[in-house]
């Protein structure tokens, strides 16, 4: 019914806009990206190849970045975009389709009850205010009495927190909670607008920072993957702001090739690792 190469509609009045061309390849890609919520880069590449195989076997697979930029130019007028981010602990690139227009936690709103949403907000505040980017389970649960909506017991709150983990809004590590990269991708705007004073920003990439390293002298912060890239093969790492010696261990830059080798040599029947996404 729709032809294969329909020029994207211009949604605003008047003249032609720079807009990409949407084919069934792109449409399927969008459908599946939406279905999965958030995907790591190698999954996204597989997905892209799959969409070409289904709809246009003869075409050359476009370079992923161009492919995504093409789609984003169409999505621009709808106030949504395919956003690329990285996991804060080891710098794996992740992608998600996000709504730029929302300035609230509205994406979650349809899934959770009022008191559950409020629990999330409380956890979020604790995480943002914390030094490490983690909020302990105990501290979150102690706020259960302050929640809006129906009264929630601590036992129930524990389960709700697990629900957040399963839905990839939070990550749990040894009884402490931090934001999943999905939540960071989707809510960065909301978080920056709602907590403008408490929010931490990375000195290198200028994006929202939850976990990272900080300079002990001047206090600037950097994401672990940003530290890795910035200080790569630098034997004497120094703070980019105050030039003082950088006192932390410099992590490795994320290498997708090395990762794939390691993955294939592991046992195939691997059940789910609690890998941060």
Binding site for other proteins (CB under 8 A): 1-3, 6-11, 13, 22, 24, 27-28, 30-32, 34-37, 39, 43, 46-47, 49-50, 53-55, 74-75, 78-80, 99, 101-102, 107, 110-111, 162-163, 166, 271-272, 274
User: Angle at the Cα of 55 (from 79 to 257), degrees rounded to 5?
Assistant: 75
Give the integer Cα–Cα distance in Å for 192 and 75.
23
DSSP 8-state secondary structure symbol assigned to residue 202? B
Give the integer Cα–Cα distance in Å for 120 and 106.
12
Yes or no: say if 183 and 170 are a contact pair by the CB < 8 Å rule.
Answer: yes
Give the integer Cα–Cα distance in Å for 276 and 4.
38
Nearer of residues 22 and 124 to other proteins, judged by Cβ: 22
Q: How far is the CB of 258 from other proteins (least distance, A)?
A: 19
Length of the chain: 277
The distance of Cα 99 from the centroid of its chain, to the nearest Å, equals: 13
Nearer of residues 44 and 127 to other proteins, judged by Cβ: 44
Nearer of residues 206 and 273 to other proteins, judged by Cβ: 273
Nearer of residues 43 and 125 to other proteins, judged by Cβ: 43
Yes or no: say if 128 and 158 are a contact pair by the CB < 8 Å rule.
Answer: no
Q: How far is the CB of 35 from other proteins (least distance, A)?
A: 6
Helix/strand/coil (H, E, C) string of 107-143? HHHCCCCHHHHHHHHHHHHHHHHCCCCCEEHHHHHCC
Nearer of residues 15 and 196 to other proteins, judged by Cβ: 15
The interaxial angle of helices 256-265 and 41-55, nearest 10 deg, is: 80
Q: How far is the CB of 79 from other proteins (least distance, A)?
A: 6
Nearer of residues 6 and 243 to other proteins, judged by Cβ: 6
Cα 235 to Cα 216, 224, 225, 250: the distances in Å are 19, 17, 17, 10
The distance of Cα 191 from the centroid of its chain, to the nearest Å, equals: 13
Longest CA–CA span in the chain (Å) reads 63
Nearer of residues 29 and 231 to other proteins, judged by Cβ: 29
């Amino acid at each position: 019914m729709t032809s294969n190469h329909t020029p994207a509609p211009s949604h605003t009045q008047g003249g032609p806009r720079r807009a990409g061309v949407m084919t069934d390849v792109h449409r399927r890609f969008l459908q599946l990206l939406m279905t999965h919520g958030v995907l790591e880069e190698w999954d996204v590449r597989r997905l892209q190849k799959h969409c070409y195989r289904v709809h246009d076997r003869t075409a050359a697979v476009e370079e992923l970045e161009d492919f995504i930029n093409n789609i984003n130019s169409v999505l621009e007028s709808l106030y949504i975009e395919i956003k690329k981010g990285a996991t804060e602990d080891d710098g794996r690139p992740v992608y998600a389709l996000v709504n730029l227009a929302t300035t609230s936690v509205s994406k979650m709103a349809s899934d959770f009850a009022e008191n559950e949403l409020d629990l999330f907000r409380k956890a979020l505040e604790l995480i943002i205010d914390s030094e490490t980017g983690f909020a302990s389970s105990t501290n979150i649960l102690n706020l259960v009495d302050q929640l809006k909506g129906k009264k929630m017991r601590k036992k129930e709150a524990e389960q709700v927190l697990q629900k957040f983990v399963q839905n990839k809004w939070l990550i749990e590590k040894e009884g402490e909670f931090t934001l999943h990269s999905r939540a960071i991708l989707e809510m960065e705007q909301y978080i920056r607008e709602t907590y403008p004073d408490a929010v931490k920003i990375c000195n290198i990439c200028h994006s929202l920072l939850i976990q990272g390293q900080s300079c002990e002298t001047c206090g600037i912060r950097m994401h672990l993957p940003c530290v890795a890239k910035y200080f790569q093969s630098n034997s004497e790492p120094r703070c980019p702001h105050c030039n003082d010696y950088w006192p932390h261990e410099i992590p490795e830059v994320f290498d997708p090739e090395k990762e794939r080798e390691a993955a294939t040599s592991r046992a195939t029947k691997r059940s789910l690792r609690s890998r941060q996404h």
